Amino acid sequence: MAKDVTAEDLVAVLAQHERFVLVSHLRPDGDAIGSMLGLGLMLEAMGKEVVYLNEDGVPGNLAFLDAGQRVRRSREVKVLDCDVFIALDTANQERLGDTALARKPEKALGVTIDHHITNERYGDLVWVDDQAPATAQMVWELAKAGGWEIPAEARTALYVGASTDTGSFQYANTTARTHEMAADLLAAGLDVAEVNRLTYHNFPYRRVQLLTSLLATLQRSDDGRLAWWSLTLAMKKEAGYQPGDSEGLVDVMRGIDEVVACVFFEEISDGTIRVSMRSKDASVNVSEVCGSFGGGGHILAAGARLEGPLEEARQRVLAELGRAAA
């Protein structure tokens, strides 16, 4: 049975062990990679052994965070031996991926560090803070609680994790503590201009081509409060799509003045439909909407996967979202 712990509890536990495996969710975003690298690099600075795993690897838009290519795809690692297996930024263990889960040694201590309100509290020790805007901020809190050194690469990773999960500190989940974290990392030497350039102004031209195609599919409800667009397999092929290319594009829809909630529908090669949903108003709880389809996330940002075809999935999701926004 999982035991809830605090940052201080985890500092003490981590100090007692030497070999760690860190893993984060499928299709990782800035917080998944940032929190994993941030924690791992700090553990390495203490002389610990760390293996970084992700089922899908680091997407191209975040490759700058892992210049040392530490993060390995789960299928590339056949045997693991560790004392502690830490899942970061992942609400349910299935989202770690079957291969990553299969790599967990039976006797390893399972630790979960996450900020999702829908976290299922798996593992032996669980630290969930659903008030934290990013798991990266929780990892920074660990560093503060333990008096740990934060190496330069870890500072970059943690900043990117917090920045991307708060919409560059624009979303309502941003707290005073988030800005304290950013200030602390800057004071320690973070080059914020360069990090922001790499995070937000460093995309390939195909991303612009992809956005052009998505805008052509943009639709709105009759009252203009809901907006959605769709990315098909054919569109991906035409644009030469790579993982990470569409990251953050949903904010184009969210930026429309009248829009209260928006949905990004993406057709996946296995026939399922990936749904990314955003809201500008807490009265439209997209976590609950996505939860009705087996997904989850946050009140203003959530996701789910549905069986295709695309048109049927779209109709089901928009009907549920329409009821929530009524």
| pLDDT digits 0-9 by tens, 177-191 | 999 999 999 999 999
Closest CA to 109 of 41, 18, 26: 18
**Residues 6 or more apart whose Cβ sits within 8 Å of residue 139:** 35, 38, 39, 42, 88, 113, 158, 161
In this prediction, residues 273-279 reach a mean pLDDT of: 96
Q: What is the pLDDT of residue 78?
A: 81
Are 314 and 293 a contacting pair, CB within 8 Å?
Answer: no
Measured distance CA(324)–CA(326) in Å, rounded: 6
pLDDT in tens, 79-102: 789 999 999 999 999 999 999 999
The 8 Å CB, 24+ separation contacts for 151-156 are 151/41, 151/42, 151/44, 151/45, 152/189, 152/190, 153/37, 153/41, 153/65, 153/67, 153/68, 154/37, 154/38, 154/39, 154/41, 154/42, 154/45, 155/185, 155/188, 155/189, 155/190, 156/65, 156/190, 156/195
Are 125 and 5 a contacting pair, CB within 8 Å?
Answer: yes
In this prediction, residues 267-296 reach a mean pLDDT of: 94
The CA-CA-CA angle for residues 154, 156, 160, to 5°, reads 115
pLDDT at 267 over 80: yes
Identify whether 309 is preceded by a cis peptide bond (ω within 30 of 0): yes
In this prediction, residues 206-222 reach a mean pLDDT of: 96
Measured distance CA(171)–CA(159) in Å, rounded: 15
Q: What is the pLDDT of residue 1?
A: 80
Are 25 and 32 a contacting pair, CB within 8 Å?
Answer: yes
Write phi, then psi, for 31 (nearest 5 degrees). -75, -40
In this prediction, residues 215-225 reach a mean pLDDT of: 97
Closest CA to 301 of 55, 133, 59, 135: 133
Are 21 and 84 a contacting pair, CB within 8 Å?
Answer: yes
Write down the pTM of the prediction: 0.91
Q: What is the pLDDT of residue 110?
A: 97
Q: Where residue 212 falls among pLDDT bands split at 50, 70, 90?
A: very high
Q: Where residue 243 falls among pLDDT bands split at 50, 70, 90?
A: confident
Q: Counting Cβ atoms within 10 Å, is residue 290 exposed (0-12), middle (13-18) or buried (19+)? A: buried
Q: What is the pLDDT of residue 79?
A: 76
Q: What does the DSSP assignment read for 89-153?
A: S-SSGGGG-HHHHHTS-TTSEEEEEE--TT----SSEEEE-TTSS-HHHHHHHHHHHHT----HH
Helix (H) or strand (E) holding 20: strand 19-24
In this prediction, residues 117-143 reach a mean pLDDT of: 96
Structural domains of the chain ordered from first start: 3-200 (3.90.1640.10), 205-325 (3.10.310.30)
Q: What is the pLDDT of residue 125?
A: 98
Secondary structure of residue 2 in the 3-state scheme: coil
In this prediction, residues 259-277 reach a mean pLDDT of: 96
Q: Where residue 294 falls among pLDDT bands split at 50, 70, 90?
A: very high
Which percentage of the chain shows pLDDT scores above 70?
100
pLDDT in tens, 41-61: 999 999 999 999 999 999 999
